[in-house]
Structure formats: structure tokens, C-alpha cells
Amino acid sequence: MQYLIVILDEAATSFCYYPSPNRKAKLMKLEMLKEVIFFAQKEGWLLNFLVGDNTLPKEYMETIDVINHILLTPLSYPQDNVDNVMVLNDDQCRELDNIPDNPDKNVILRVRKENLSSLYTLVKSLNGKFRRLNITLENIDLFNEKDLNLYEQQLNHLSQLYINQSNKETPFEINIVSDRLFLHQMNNCDAGVKHITFAPNGNFYICPAFYYEDINNECGNLKTGINIKNSQLLRLDHAPICRVCDAYHCKRCVWLNKKTTFNVNTPSHEQCIVSHIERNMSRNVLERLHQNNIIPDIVIESIDYLDPFDNINKRKNI
Amino acid sequence: MNLKENSKAWQEGMAKSITFIVTKDCQLACKYCYLVGKNSEERMSFDVAKQAIDFVLSNREMFNEHSVIYDFIGGEPFLEIELIDRICDYLKEQMYILNHPWFNSYRFNFSTNGIMYNDPRVQAYITKNVSHLSIGITIDGTQHKHDMNRIYKDGRGSYNDVVKNIPLWLKQFPDSGTKVTVGSEDLPFIVESVLHLYSLGIKDVNINVVFENVWKEGDDTILESQLLELANIMIEKKLYEKHSCSFFSDFIGKPQDPERDNQNWCGAGKMLSIDAEGNFYPCTRFAKYSLRSKPPIIIGNIHDGINTNLLRPFLTLDRCTQSTEECIACEVGSGCAWCQGENYDAADTATIFQRATAICKMHKARVRANNYYWSRLSHILQKEELAQLRKERSKCNI
């Protein structure tokens, strides 16, 4: 484990694939917060805090300031600290006018299937307000052929946007376009392997999604420590489809896997297609960058499949 | 070489297996039965079967195997022989009308407790479909061993009601084998049971120990000594020439290469099982009535079709990913079987990727006896072959 995610507020906004919880704001008890920070200090972990709409009380701020941390904050949370990551939902971009430009900001943009057609417009409206943009698609599991085509079109526009600014002194990053350009191996979410989540009820979970889905998904507490049953299945070497895949930027979300295939180590068809559309778009970007004499030290091979599952089965049948 | 090999299923591994769970009822209440949720209420209607058939036959891209085995299971399938007869008629009719490739390559397959085998309705069905039928009657060996486990709901043994049908069965299906299941209590009766089955005229005995965690300290020793005794008798009486026993196989007990020998043992996910409600399962073992502690894995139904995402884990599952380090490195791992459904049911989490290892010691005991059997037998066969060769040479010299 390298870091710990702490859900400070029951109503903390989702920063990832899982839906934002529809819960009343309720802060973790201060005493519990102190205990988990002490636990993390002993493990040598970094901390990410998920917060709700309200500014943290002074005593909470003082408590978390004893350890290296990042706050993941909703738009409604005061955005005065550049180190905080801002989480935006696709219906909030109009509210951005009130926020000054900030070319150093790290922003997470969550986009629903219904708003896929606005993806490029949404990103354009954020121009100047981020250095790194992490786009997370909600309900990938519900994507159909039409959605996937639409996503590819939008990605094409985003690629152009990325290329246009790539020769600037401090170019911005858009995860779904540019991450693959810098990866030589898998760089997945690795929930339960590199990080773990601590919830306001005092229990550990593989990630916040597992907590919000069912509080009985816990995998330990501060007294017993962490015990993830079948934890080997969270590792890449125990994921038969992913371990032969080169969509290195894919989140390989174990919660989505569990939801769609009932197994944490097996991605859905839709997840694989989305990641490969991104991968192939990065390959196009790479070619264009080469033409512009910008040469990242990477090779992305041409492939004839979008879902590695098909490739595995094809090989089996030979 | 005069050696009978273990029998193989029709189109083994090549045909699609479609299973109709026609009833969850059975006359028997076998002690080792993994079907924990048997009942007399859940009975398939013809309409559900028809919709399932329409779905399967109209989706050739998904069901693209050259051959098909239609399995009928229960409970006891022959309790629903009239329904099965109707289903089979509809299948044949539709395969013909649709000019489906399976029309030329299909089998109807049954595993029955044998009690109703001589029922006129069952016999009429057999006469009608005999060229496309495989029927296995389960008889566990001697009356003592059989009646230890295979009992009626009121506790009576079922041996006499089964054994009376064996001659008719063997007359109609002379090459049939029987399936024998061994649990902890009946381990000491393996030898007498296998020999008894041979004496009834059954040539192939497919026998296995249960996968569930029922084994007690010392059971492996009993199994080994039983199999050593059986090995001696089979060799000394030359039973190996005309009979087989699946405990002895020349491919078990070898180390396995993590890459070359990494295939999954079980066919779950490649099969399709359909229950009375029209739900689809990757294998019958994932239906609710088969599971002790886990929710069923329903991969679709006759109305919505199959959610192929739920098949992905089954179709990419391999040996090493689900095995412990100890199993992967096992020096005698080949032939150590598993049931994907039991793996799932016994796993610490709801996954099919955790291999149950309850039979570990039993497999190792089997391997020791198996090695002994083949060591002794191959020596004898080599000597016989040599003698034969010498005989032929001497003829040539004359």
C-alpha cells in the first residue's frame, strides 16, 4: 500500500466511476480521524481526503495538516488551495465562470453517458483552468454501440485540442488522450493493492465505491488491521484479460469489474472497448506528434482488436 | 496391446452442451448429493423449454459448435419423461425446419438413478430416439455401498430397484458406463463395488471422490489401500483387457507446466443450463438448488438472452489464476480435478477464481496407487509384447 483514501464526509462527492452518494452531510468523528492519521503515519502512507460541500472546521484542518495529503473537493468547496483536486460533474461547468483561471490545477471531470456529446465542449469551457484533467465516464456499463461511436468522435476532437497545445512550454494533460503516451507498463487504479479506503464508520474498504455500494463490504478496521480476502485477485497477474493488454492507462476498476462480470479481475466488454478507443486515439496522437517533431519515447503498436478478450479466445481456438 | 481404455463421451469437448433442468424433484435423497435445494414444485413447462430452444437455435453465431448434446437432468429426469419427449420432438422438428447443422449431429443425454428405466413411457422414448441417445444409470457398487448413500426419502435403499434394470439397460446400450461417487464413509467398499459392477456386465466404471470438504484424517490411507488392492486384482485377473476404472489413468500424477498446461479443467461457461423459470446458467452447478452458501450466477434468461459479460470470467479462467502456489508447483498435479461450481461455493469471496483444495490428499493417494498400477501393468504388458514378438519371429524362422 502506498496511500489511503479517507472519506471525511458521508456526503463526499464521487470522484470516480461510482455514483455520488445521496446522503446527508456527516463528518467523520474527529477522534477517529486522529486515529486513522496515526495509523497511516505508522504505515508511511500518503493521504487523500474526500470532503463534502462544507469547509472543514478549523480543528479538522489542523488535524489533517500533520500529514502529507491531498483534498478532493467538490466545486462548492472553497477552491483557494491549488493543491486540492477539484471534482466537477458535467452539469457544473457553467458555474466555472466564477472561478479564476488556474493553469496549475488538477481537475476531475465526471461525464455521464447522456452528456457524451458535450464532452469536447465541456473540456473547452475548462480551458485555462487546469494543468491536468482527469475525465471519468459514468455508467460505462450502459454504453451501447452508438455511445461508443459518439465517444470516439469526441475523443477525436479532444486529441486535436491536445495536439494544438502540445508544443507549449507547459502543456496540459487530458488523461484519456495523453496518459498512454507516457506509459511503458500498466498504470491502473490498483485499489486494494496500492491504496485502501477508510470510511466514516471506522472500517476499511477496497475503495469508496465498495463502501457506498454496501457497508458490509468492509475489509478490516483500525484494531484488526486490513484483511482483504482473495486479495491476489486484485493484482494484475491474476487478471487474465488485463495482464495481456496494453491499454496501460486503463483504470482497470475492480468495482466496475465486480458489478459487470461478478469478478473483480475481469473487465466488461464495454470497459475494454472504451479503453481501446482511447488507446488507439493516443496512437493517432503519437503519429501526429511525430509529424510535429515532438517525439515521446514510446511505441504504440497497431492492433486488430478492441477487446483483448476476443484476442485471447482467437488464440485459444487456433 | 490388450488394454481397454477409459470410455470417452460422444464428441468429447467438441459439442455444445445444453442442459434442461426439467425438474428439481427426485425419488431419492442421496446423502452425497450436491443438490441442496431439491423440491417437487420447480418443474419446467413446455413453453419455457420451447422459448429456450427458439433462443438457442436462432442464435447460431453464439452457438456455433458443430454438434450439440442436449442434457436432461433433475433431480431425476425420467420423472418428466412426457415433457422430455415433447421437448425432443420439438428440437428435432425445429432443427430440421431451420436446416440447422445440429440436425445431423445431436445427442440426447441422461444421467438417471435408473429406478424408472423399465417404465413403458421411458422405454417408448428410448425406442423412438435410440440412435441419438446416451443414458447413464448410476449404481454405486454392491448393495451395501449403494444403499449407504443412495436412499429413498424414507431411508430405504434403492439398490434392488436399480439393479433389476441393469440387464435391459446394457442390452440397449452395451457400451455404457456407470458413474460412481465415493464419500468418506464408503471408502472401504471401493474394491468390492468396482468388481461387483464388472460382474453385472458394466465395463466402464467412472468413479470419483466427491469434491466437497467431507474428508477425515486417514481417509487418504484408506483410499490408497483400496486402490492398491483393486490394482492387484485388475492385473492378476487381467480385468484391464475388457474393463476400465477411471481411478487408473496414465495421464494423472505428473507435474504441469504453468504455461503449456494452463487450461481450465471444467467446461462451465461453455455449457448452457436452463431452469424451470427460463433462467440461464453457465452450468447447473451455479443454479440456486446446487449452492450451499453463494447466490446463483444467472447469466441471462429466455426473454433477454445472455449477458455475455458474465461469461467472460468463465471463458478466460485458467488453471494457474485460480490455483494456490502449492497447486501450481505440485509435482503430481495433472489429473487433479475441480468443479467450478464447488470452487465458487466454497470460496472465501463470491468468485470462481479460488480453487477448492479439499481433495488434495485424496488425489495424492490416488496418484500413488495409480503409479503402482501402471508400473506393474506396463512391466507385464512389455513382457507379453516381447513374448509375442519372439513368437512371431520364431514363426518367420520356420
Cβ atoms within 10 Å, residue B364: 18
Helix, strand counts (H, E) of chain B: 13, 11
- pLDDT tens for each residue of B247-293: 999 889 999 999 889 988 888 999 999 999 999 999 999 999 999 99
On whether ipTM exceeds 0.90, the answer is: yes
What is the β-pairing status of strands B106-112 and B133-137? Answer: parallel
| Cross-chain Cβ contact B309/A241 below 8 Å | no
The answer to whether the CB of A219 falls within 8 A of the CB of A264 is no
pLDDT class for B387, splitting at 50, 70, 90? Answer: confident
**Of A155-169, A209-223, B102-116, B270-284, minimum mean pLDDT range:** A155-169
Residues of B in contact with A309 (CB under 8 A): 312, 315-316
| Cross-chain Cβ contact A269/B308 below 8 Å | yes
Q: Which residue of B has its CA nearest to A262?
A: B310
Q: Which residue of A has its CA nearest to B65?
A: A317
What does the pLDDT read at residue B397?
Answer: 63
**DSSP 8-state code for residue B5:** P
- pLDDT tens for each residue of B5-57: 766 666 666 899 999 999 999 999 998 887 887 888 889 999 999 999 999 99
Residue matched to cell numbers 436432461 = B72
Burial class (CB in 10 A: 0-12, 13-18, 19+), A1: middle
Q: Which three cell numbers stand for residue B363?
A: 488425489
The answer to whether the CB of A186 falls within 8 A of the CB of A227 is no
- pLDDT tens for each residue of B206-222: 999 999 999 999 999 99
Q: Give the best residue of A253, A263, A264, A313 to mutate against chain B (max B CB count within 10 A).
A: A263
What does the pLDDT read at residue B398?
Answer: 56
Amino acid at B381: L
Which residues 6+ apart lie within 8 Å of B342 measured at CB? B34, B211, B212, B285, B356
- pLDDT tens for each residue of A263-272: 999 999 999 9
What does the pLDDT read at residue A188?
Answer: 97
For residues B144 and B198, give the distance between their C-alpha atoms in angstroms, rounded to a whole number: 16
**Of A31-45, A71-85, B234-248, minimum mean pLDDT range:** A71-85
A268 and chain B in contact, CB less than 8 A:
yes
| Cross-chain Cβ contact A229/B308 below 8 Å | no
pLDDT class for B389, splitting at 50, 70, 90? Answer: confident
For residues A210 and A197, give the distance between their C-alpha atoms in angstroms, rounded to a whole number: 9
What does the pLDDT read at residue A94?
Answer: 77
**Of A235-249, A266-280, A283-297, B323-337, minimum mean pLDDT range:** A283-297
What does the pLDDT read at residue B10?
Answer: 64
Sign of the four-CA dihedral A284, A290, A293, A297: positive
Query: Closest approach of chain B CAs to the CA of A88, in angstroms?
Result: 30
| Cross-chain Cβ contact A262/B317 below 8 Å | no
Strands (E), chain B: 16-21, 68-73, 106-112, 133-137, 177-182, 204-209, 244-245, 272-274, 279-281, 300-301, 305-306
Average pLDDT over residues B179-197: 95
pLDDT class for A78, splitting at 50, 70, 90? Answer: confident
Which residues 6+ apart lie within 8 Å of B250 measured at CB? B374
Q: Residue A318 pLDDT > 60, yes or no?
A: no
Q: What is the mean pLDDT of chain B?
A: 94
Amino acid at A107: V
| Cross-chain Cβ contact B315/A269 below 8 Å | no
User: Of B41 and B91, which is predicted with more confidence?
Assistant: B91
- pLDDT tens for each residue of A173-187: 999 999 999 999 999
Query: Closest approach of chain B CAs to the CA of A238, in angstroms?
Result: 5
Cβ atoms within 10 Å, residue B92: 16
Amino acid at B286: F
B349 and chain A in contact, CB less than 8 A:
yes
What does the pLDDT read at residue B14?
Answer: 83
Q: Residue A317 pLDDT > 70, yes or no?
A: no
Q: Which three cell numbers stand for residue B388?
A: 509375442
Q: What is the mean pLDDT of chain A?
A: 94
Cβ atoms within 10 Å, residue A244: 13
- pLDDT tens for each residue of B132-144: 999 999 999 999 9
A264 and chain B in contact, CB less than 8 A:
yes
| Cross-chain Cβ contact A268/B316 below 8 Å | no
pLDDT class for A127, splitting at 50, 70, 90? Answer: confident
Query: Closest approach of chain B CAs to the CA of A265, in angstroms?
Result: 8
- Tell me which residues of chain B, numbers 315 to 334, contact chain A at a CB-CB cutoff of 8 Å: 315-318, 321
B312 and chain A in contact, CB less than 8 A:
yes
| Cross-chain Cβ contact A263/B351 below 8 Å | yes
Q: Residue B85 pLDDT > 90, yes or no?
A: yes
| Cross-chain Cβ contact B309/A261 below 8 Å | yes
The answer to whether the CB of A70 falls within 8 A of the CB of A77 is no
Candidates B308, B310, B318; nearest CB to A262: B310
For residues B394 and B373, give the distance between their C-alpha atoms in angstroms, rounded to a whole number: 31
Amino acid at A122: L
Query: Closest approach of chain B CAs to the CA of A114, in angstroms?
Result: 22
A14 and chain B in contact, CB less than 8 A:
no
